[in-house]
C-alpha cells in the first residue's frame, strides 16, 4: 500500500493530553471484556456472513461485544458530497468509511467515560488462549510499567518495527514491545487519553488510510504505546477486499479460534445472527 509521508506538527491540545494520568488495567474488570471497560467491533450491516463467524468465536470465548455499524461508501451521502468537492479524492470509499467508523468508536468511548476499550474489526481471528495472552501483557503494563503513560496497545497488527527486544531490560517479556511503526488497525486497546488524542487529530481531516495516519503519529512521538508480538488477533484472508495485500501480512492465527469453533461447535448461520438482532437492520 503506497502512502505519502507528512511532517507531523503536534497540536498544543494534544500535547496537553500528555499530562493526563495513566490509566491502568484492573483485575476487577471482567474477563468477558478482556479486562477493559468495553469491546467494540466495527462492521457494516451487509456483512452477515463475516459477523456470523465473528460472533461464533466471541460466544465460544465468552466475550461481551458491541457492534458498531458503518456503511458502504455507495450508501453514504456524505462521501458522495465530499467526493464531488474533491476533498476525499486521495481515499478510496472503503478507506473513508473505515476512518468514520473508528472515529465514531473513539467519540462513543469518550461520551461513555470508558477508561480503556478494545476495538476490533469484523475480519479477525484470534488465539484460543486470548484471555491469558491479554492478561499477561496487561499485568506487565499495570505493574512494572505503571508509571509509563500509554495511548494505544496493538493486540493485532500486520507488521511493526519494534523499538525494543525482550533482552533490552526487565520491563519486557517475549510478547510485548514498544511501538515504532505498526500497520493495520484490526485490533487495538485504547486508553481514554489515546481516544482523546485520536479524536482531536482525525475529527476534521485525514490524508491517508487511518492505520497509516496513526502510524505516522506514533513515529512522530505524538502517540505512544505497546504492541503484542506475535499478534493475539490476526486478520482473516477469506475476503475479496483483502486480496490485493501481500499474503505474508495476513498470517494464520496461532491456536485459531475460528478453526476450533468450526471443528467442534459449528458457526452460526445467517438466520441465527438475524434472530440475535445482529442482522442487516440493527436497532
pLDDT tens profile 32-82: 999 999 999 999 888 999 999 999 999 999 999 999 998 877 777 877 787
| Secondary structure E strands in the chain | 39-43, 66-69, 116-121, 124-126, 152-156, 176-178, 187-191, 225-228, 233-235
Please write the tens of the pLDDT for every residue from 71-130: 877 777 877 787 777 767 778 888 888 988 999 999 999 999 999 999 999 999 999 999
pLDDT digits (tens, 9 = 90+) for 232-277: 999 886 644 444 344 444 456 678 999 999 999 999 999 999 999 9
| pLDDT tens for each residue of 138-181 | 888 887 777 788 999 999 877 655 555 554 454 455 577 888 77
Q: What integer pLDDT is reported at residue 2 of this predicted model?
A: 34
Which three three-digit cell numbers place residue 68?
A: 458498531
The pLDDT, as a whole number, for residue 11 is 47
Higher pLDDT, 45 or 10: 45
Q: What's the pLDDT at 32?
A: 92
CATH topology of domain 34-275: Spore Coat Polysaccharide Biosynthesis Protein SpsA; Chain A (3.90.550)
Provide the pLDDT for residue 17.
53
Which pTM was predicted? 0.83
Domain ranges of the chain: 34-275
- Among 81, 59, 51, residue whose Cα is nearest residue 281: 51
Q: Which residues lie closer than 8 Å to 133 by C-beta, 6 or more apart?
A: 127, 175, 228, 232
Q: What is the pLDDT of residue 46?
A: 87
Amino acid at each position: 500500500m503506497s502512502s505519502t509521508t507528512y511532517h507531523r506538527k503536534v497540536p498544543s491540545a494534544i500535547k496537553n493530553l500528555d499530562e493526563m494520568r495513566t490509566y491502568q488495567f484492573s483485575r476487577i474488570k471482567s474477563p468477558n471484556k478482556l479486562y477493559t471497560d468495553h469491546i467494540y467491533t466495527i462492521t457494516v450491516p451487509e456483512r452477515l456472513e463475516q459477523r456470523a463467524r465473528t460472533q461464533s468465536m466471541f460466544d465460544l470465548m465468552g466475550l461481551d461485544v458491541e457492534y458498531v455499524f458503518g456503511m458502504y461508501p455507495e450508501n453514504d451521502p456524505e462521501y458522495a458530497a465530499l467526493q464531488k468537492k474533491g476533498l476525499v479524492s486521495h481515499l478510496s470509499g472503503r478507506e473513508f468509511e473505515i476512518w468514520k467508523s473508528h472515529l465514531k468508536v473513539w467519540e462513543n468511548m469518550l461520551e461513555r467515560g470508558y477508561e480503556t476499550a478494545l476495538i476490533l474489526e469484523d475480519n479477525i481471528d484470534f488465539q484460543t488462549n486470548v484471555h491469558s495472552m491479554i492478561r499477561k501483557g496487561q499485568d506487565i503494563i499495570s505493574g512494572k510499567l505503571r508509571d509509563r503513560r500509554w495511548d494505544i496497545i496493538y493486540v493485532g497488527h500486520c507488521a511493526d518495527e519494534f523499538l525494543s527486544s525482550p533482552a533490552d531490560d526487565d520491563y519486557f517479556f517475549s510478547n510485548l514491545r514498544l511501538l515504532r511503526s505498526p500497520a493495520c488497525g484490526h485490533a487495538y486497546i485504547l486508553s481514554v487519553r489515546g481516544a482523546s488524542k485520536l479524536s482531536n487529530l482525525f475529527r476534521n481531516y485525514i490524508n491517508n488510510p487511518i492505520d497509516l495516519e496513526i502510524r505516522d503519529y506514533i513515529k512522530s512521538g505524538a502517540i505512544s504505546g505497546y504492541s503484542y508480538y506475535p499478534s493475539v488477533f490476526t486478520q482473516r484472508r477469506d475476503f475479496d477486499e483483502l486480496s490485493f495485500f501481500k499474503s505474508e501480512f495476513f498470517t494464520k492465527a496461532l491456536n485459531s479460534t475460528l478453526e476450533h469453533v468450526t471443528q467442534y461447535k459449528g458457526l452460526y448461520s445467517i438466520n441465527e445472527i438475524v434472530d440475535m438482532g445482529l442482522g442487516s437492520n440493527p436497532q
